[in-house]
Chains A and B, each alone.
Chain A
Amino acid sequence: MADGWQIIQNNLDVFLAATGVTVQVAVFGLAIGFVGGVILALSRLSSFRPLSWAATLYIEIIRGTPLLIQIFFIYFGFSAISPLLNFDAMTAGILALGFNSSAYQAEIIRGGIESVPKGQMEAARSIGMTRMQAMRFIILPQSFRLMIPAMTNEMVTLIKDTSLVSTITVVELTFVGKQLTSRYLEAVPILSFVALIYLILTFATSRAMRYLEKKYQIPGYGEAE
């Protein structure tokens, strides 16, 4: 039986490619989640009731059902609705993670928006800015700073959740880990190495976010921690 380290070395290119897929799924998932999250958060805060209700309903359904079911639903279920929605595994996985993350990010963004002092909006409106301008130039820039810690959690969670798309045959890290384990029957070194790669990805993410938090800190405001 081959030595564990030897297996890893021999398959390094496979691991590398799989890491690339994992990163790709995570990045696109987070991006879709962010755009969707902003739209959902603003909808929830809208004074137009039907819009706010629709956003709330969406968020509750997504948060209240398993991500794995959502992944299966988009991959297997959507093609039954319309042939136009027949996605390949990668696309389905990214969409599922993105739609899922948008619900969580929406709540983070809403929390961030609501923690900006009320006087900021009033000051912007009373000097003649429209609600949109006030949101864009005053409220959102401030709230993004406030939501960095919660956003870091969501990013780390999503990176780990990408492992679920292995179930719909996306050849990412977990998929490759399982495959090599059954080929070499050496679970411990292979899965440890897979876990290590996830750890590196999540650790790098949280450090990068910490750097952003410091960099975009508002001088003289909330500096004491």
Chain B
Amino acid sequence: MNQEEIIRAVNIHKSFKGHEVLKGINLSVSRREVVCIIGPSGSGKSTLLRCLNRITEPDDGEGLFEGKSIMGEDVDIDEVRSHMVMVFQSYNLFLHLTAKRNIMLALEKVRGMSKEEAEGRAMEALRKVGLENKANAYPGQMSGGQQQRVAIARAIAMEPRMVMFDEPTSALDPELTGEVLEVMKNLAYGGMTMVVVTHEMGFAREVADRVVFMDHGVIVEEGDPATIFTRPQNERTRQFLKRVLQDEPGPPPA
């Protein structure tokens, strides 16, 4: 086993009401790696991400976190999840808590920090996403972009081994995606291990160490972004990229 491996998913299967969404996925992510998962809607990307921390329980398959299985009954899945925190498409900030308290809660209840320690950590995290002036704002008082940045701050304040992003900019107005992608880039360049389900091809091309293309519940193709975006080997990958890159600003890839 690769010592730097953070997670490994082996032969993950998942069906919803008889419809097979994941048909045997194998995926491994190493420390400091940024993996972007792309693919058409309904290809199973988000379900795969949610199976990795068992927020959605896979039907079959094995998941390893730092070499240890996370699938058994006796696994403390809450502990595992606190090290591979998730950022959601719809932000999911706790609606009744201010930005600061959103971040502090899990630090106190999951990490067992004192209030003062948690507050310090929360403010530091807010600074990293450029929102220390929103510490006392409630989610309903912030823009979507700000809420998502707070959600990212909440995730990184846990000092996780990995952050999983589930289409983090898909619910945002186009003019707000930039600020969120900027924060994510800084995080990636800072060495955070990231798995990002995204439709932002520009981000994937620029930041990803590896791009995974999924379609109909299988990984069709994966590789470094240069290869995937300029010389995709599979016809389905080519078709998909042709479709989505038409809508993207800037010159198409050679």
Give residues in A with beta carbon < 8 Å to B: 117, 119-120, 122-130, 133, 137-138, 141-142, 145, 218-221, 223
- B140 & A220 in contact (Cβ 8 Å cutoff): yes
- B96 & A142 in contact (Cβ 8 Å cutoff): yes
List 7 A-B residue pairs with CB atoms under 8 Å apart, sorted by A's residue number. A122-B88, A123-B93, A123-B151, A127-B110, A128-B81, A128-B83, A133-B110
Cβ of A27 to closest chain B Cβ, rounded Å: 27
- B92 & A120 in contact (Cβ 8 Å cutoff): yes
User: Inside 8 A of A129's CB, which chain B residues have their CB?
Assistant: 78, 106, 109-110
Q: Which residue of B lies closest to A131 (CB)?
A: B78
Q: 1/0 per position for B127-145, CB-CB distance to A under 8 A? A: 0000000000111111000
For the side of the interface on B, what is the size category? 20 to 34
B105 at the binding interface (Cβ < 8 Å):
yes
Chain A interface main SS type: helix
User: Inside 8 A of B177's CB, which chain A residues have their CB?
Assistant: none
B207 at the binding interface (Cβ < 8 Å):
no
Given A124-B106, A129-B78, output 19 extra A-B contacts at Cβ < 8 Å: A117-B92, A120-B94, A122-B55, A122-B88, A124-B94, A127-B106, A127-B154, A127-B155, A128-B79, A133-B109, A137-B109, A138-B94, A141-B96, A142-B96, A218-B95, A219-B140, A220-B137, A221-B138, A221-B139
Cβ of B83 to closest chain A Cβ, rounded Å: 8
User: Inside 8 A of B106's CB, which chain A residues have their CB?
Assistant: 124, 127-129
| Most chain A CB within a 10 A radius of its CB, from B55, B82, B95, B142 | B95
User: Inside 8 A of A219's CB, which chain B residues have their CB?
Assistant: 138, 140-141
- B94 & A125 in contact (Cβ 8 Å cutoff): no
Cβ of A212 to closest chain B Cβ, rounded Å: 14
User: How far apart sit A46 and B106, CA to CA, in the bound complex (Å)?
Assistant: 24
Cβ of B102 to closest chain A Cβ, rounded Å: 9
User: Inside 8 A of A221's CB, which chain B residues have their CB?
Assistant: 95, 138-140
User: How far apart sit A164 and B83, CA to CA, in the bound complex (Å)?
Assistant: 57
User: Inside 8 A of A133's CB, which chain B residues have their CB?
Assistant: 109-110
Q: Which residue of B lies closest to A223 (CB)?
A: B140
User: How far apart sit A138 and B93, CA to CA, in the bound complex (Å)?
Assistant: 10
B85 at the binding interface (Cβ < 8 Å):
yes
User: Inside 8 A of B158's CB, which chain A residues have their CB?
Assistant: 127-128
- A218 & B140 in contact (Cβ 8 Å cutoff): yes
- A128 & B110 in contact (Cβ 8 Å cutoff): yes
